[in-house]
Structure 1
Amino acid sequence: MTTTRETPVRLTQFAHGGGCACKIPPGELEDVLGGLAAPMTTTTDTPLLVGLATGDDAAVVTLPADGGAPTQAVVSTADFFTPVVDDPYDWGRIAAANALSDVYAMGGRPVLAVNLLAWPRDVLPFDLAREVLRGGLDIATEAGCHVGGGHSVDDPEPKYGMAVTGLADPTRLLRNDAGRPGVPLSLTKPLGLGVLNNRHKATGERFEQAVATMVALNRDASAAAVAAGATCATDITGFGFLGHLHKLARASGVTAVVDTAAVPYLDGAREAVRDGYVSGGTRRNLEWVAPFTDFGDTDADTRLLLADAQTSGGLLVAGEVPGAPVVGELVLRREHSVVLS
């Protein structure tokens, strides 16, 4: 299941956190962003379809059309984080796939990305930074997305990601506020990335199944969801499955009922929780969602896995996606936004 591979530099040792687990906690972030939505003027010819209001995965504006309804929307996002794995090329691939995922989570296709790089130039050699950028370029190329430069700064802690621009049909967006009662919930990647990454950081063990999952694009799942007529989705990253599901349910005015036995996990994830490789970000996620969640008789380890801070996780789609397990359904609003069964 695991192998140990010696690397000259363990990049994860230069980061206080790892991957999306280094995000600002969701409760604190919502406090900061409260009331900051910019008022829109009536003269703009690029209406904002998706902004700060529901904490969706990306911002969306429509392009002006010559008469009739707009037929094109621009999707914009940015995502970067500290090293989640020691291998610089893998970190670049993971960070790029994660940034592109925000566009896929909106039902769009990425067309242009620019790199965001922070590097401790007096501590880590630049040949490692080159490998990080090469990994990002390879994933963007796989996605059919141009990389047109970027921005770099000297920073005591290495960070990498991308700002991404995509295109979408404004009438076929995937939004986190479009869930409706009676619709099933599909999850396109297994959970457990956070605890496996945390174990990797602590021990140096390499989990190939985790790397393969993180570098896999959400492109096909997004296209399948849109083709199936889905209108609601989000991607599972730093706030964990429960956190992102809570945001979706809250924005949509519904309750999500989760069949915990149907949720898939990566090999080794439960063992990592058992052995204590749980990040502070995951524990903060669980604390944040607890007031909004009916846990029933779900055991403590499963609760942690459901709140596990994912990096480049899958899509959670309100609708059926071919090949993806159905893990629950949306129902009429109840006392809690999420109910585990």
Structure 2
Amino acid sequence: IAVLALMAALYHTFNHAMFKGELFLGAGALLYSTGTRNMEKMGGLFRRMPATAICFLIGALAISAIPPFNGFVSEWFTYQSLFNAAMQGDKAVMIVAVFAAVALAITGALAVTCFVKAYGVSFASAPRSEAAANAKEVPAPMVFAQGLLAAICVVLGIGAPVIAPVLVDVAASVLHPYGGVFAAEGMELLNQYSGAATSTPAIAIALVVLVGLACGYRKLKTVGKVQKSQPWACGYAPNEHMPVVATTFASEVSWFMQPLYTLRDRCTAVCWSIAHFFQKLTGVAEAVEPVPDKVLVDAPHKGVEKLADLATKLEGGNYSIYICYIVAALVVFLVLAVQMG
């Protein structure tokens, strides 16, 4: 189980580097093309920036753990390690593993909500500002960088039966010389410990077939039909101000998560109180800290400086005085020699 968990962590870390990097590049492309970070002033960018839109969509699906992309694979392994730990561990381990699995599921749901909002508000609907209406695709090097990371997200997902065993060997070399509980059989990823299995290549093929069938069916349904009038919209035609924007999209999530937000605010207030208390302790420590330095360091230092000043006065750089020092020293040593016999 530890080997499986470590392999999942390594896989997920590398996956995050890929799809988060791609999403950051996509956000930079939107800023470059529209000149704004406000999603509510975007909209309709899929038609104006198709390459960026497709790459951003792949990154959004990957970070939301949608199969067959790489985020799904590493999260699947993470779930497998948590489920196995919950089933085989003691009560404390079971409670922690179950809580972690539930937290991961909630995080995944919020990620889906977040990126449905980000993609839908930015790329779908109609432009909601002049900057969005005049937006153009970014230069080729920016498109290439996004496309490269998006392609890696696809390869890390569909190619998991080839990539995962390599990471298992890495994890096993750290924790156990005989490997873990994971195996890849053809296109299938298999957890030998629990019998759970998945296949990202098969999922990818199935999705392509289903999307193709849906598009074909829609095409057949619309052949020879012409829409002659606008659909009735309660007495008025839709315009660019009517689509859902980021604020309204997130309002339901904000309402649902309001208890957690309230708890967070109260905990933050308590933390600030504790921080203020420690700040006062820090002020006391700052007042006390210099005292030993003044006694143990500054006083001897001042004494050494006075001796140094005296030595500097004695060594004035005058050769005549140096000769007098030598003569005086000789006289002193001669007197001592006579006195000592």
TM-score normalized with structure 1 length: 0.24
TM-score normalized with structure 2 length: 0.24
The structure with the largest alpha-carbon Rg is 2
